[in-house]
Chain A
């Protein structure tokens, strides 16, 4: 299609001259607009549909990602709690114990860092979590717990806990062998 400049300008003028008749007067148009502004904005269903599709796709992607992710080793929350508490009570002279999840602070005699995190079931419904060194002496003098825990290294693998505690009015006096490190011991002294 070859058009010279004059023909092209004429075509544009033709387009410009197109006349249309509008039914509504300006005032009618304005009244309609003002009435529409008083109505609450219409819900954009197209947007909602897209948002719903996106949410479903994102959910599926997250599900697939989690199902393909290799399982991480499970760390006992108690140990996490103990580690975090130790971090907060950073000094080596402070002993940190948990009696049934209640934090108890005592004193330590050892200069070594408390690298053993132990969980021991002492008696019916009493559970003790304790951070201690291989050779340690912990004394507690709080309102609910009173007494001492002596920790002695038996061999390269084993510690012996000599527990002499008054917990909520109950006297507990026992010796329990435990493995060094992060470990859990039931009340009869067997390793779990």
Chain B
């Protein structure tokens, strides 16, 4: 019976939040197929730990987002390890703008907290209030984090260019 309730909760979560999860994942892994795999894995990881979760549904969404971000970067690291075996998929926009890979690289070098901020609050189409709810912080805190994340990205890009 409990599992049936959890299934309903997860089904509702997927119906309402799948675009957000996909959007977060796809901007990290740059492939819709890989993004779907990442989101499925993240949801299954959350499902396997469902009994330890007793928070609100909004908190469940925030939790899954965090897993999506970490799973996406895990996939990128796996791709790097496999090197030539997998061709890195470069979307059309990235081929047109040579700075986009540099931006991806800089975001990947951010501390986890700011990486999540960039993916959820900057790169997704969410209002500040919604992004704050997903990340579990107030709008004010989020504004500060966004500001800090942006200056860190610029600094990292500058440093990477000089190396």
**Residues of A that sit less than 8 Å from B by CB:** 1-3, 8, 11-12, 14-24, 26, 29-30, 32-34, 36-37, 41
In contact, B44 and A37 (Cβ under 8 angstroms): yes
In contact, A20 and B35 (Cβ under 8 angstroms): yes
Residue B10 CB within 8 A of the other chain: yes
Name B103's contact: one of A15, A21, A30, A41 (CB within 8 Å). Answer: A15
Residues of A within 8 A of B115 (CB): none
Q: Given A20-B91, A26-B18, A32-B40, decide whether A1 and B158 contact each other with a Cβ distance below 8 A.
A: yes
In contact, B43 and A33 (Cβ under 8 angstroms): yes
Q: Given A3-B154, A23-B32, decide whether A33 and B10 contact each other with a Cβ distance below 8 A.
A: yes
In contact, A14 and B93 (Cβ under 8 angstroms): yes
Name B158's contact: one of A2, A18, A24 (CB within 8 Å). Answer: A2
Residues of A within 8 A of B86 (CB): none
In contact, A36 and B100 (Cβ under 8 angstroms): no
User: Of all chain A residues, which has the CB nearest B31?
Assistant: A20
Give the Cβ gap from A44 to chain B, nearest Cβ, in Å: 10
Q: Given A15-B123, A29-B14, decide whether A37 and B7 contact each other with a Cβ distance below 8 A.
A: yes
Docked complex Cα distance between A51 and B91 (Å)? 40
Docked complex Cα distance between A26 and B11 (Å)? 10
Docked complex Cα distance between A15 and B99 (Å)? 10
Residues of A within 8 A of B154 (CB): 3, 8
Q: Given A2-B158, A26-B18, A36-B44, decide whether A11 and B100 contact each other with a Cβ distance below 8 A.
A: yes
Residues of B within 8 A of A36 (CB): 40, 44
In contact, B158 and A22 (Cβ under 8 angstroms): no
Q: Given A26-B14, A36-B40, decide whether A12 and B122 contact each other with a Cβ distance below 8 A.
A: yes
In contact, A30 and B11 (Cβ under 8 angstroms): yes
Name B100's contact: one of A1, A8, A14, A32 (CB within 8 Å). Answer: A14
In contact, A16 and B10 (Cβ under 8 angstroms): no
In contact, B40 and A23 (Cβ under 8 angstroms): no
In contact, A22 and B150 (Cβ under 8 angstroms): no
19 cross-chain CB contacts under 8 A = A1-B157, A11-B100, A12-B122, A12-B123, A15-B104, A18-B91, A18-B94, A19-B93, A20-B31, A20-B91, A23-B32, A23-B36, A29-B14, A29-B39, A29-B40, A30-B18, A36-B44, A37-B44, A41-B48
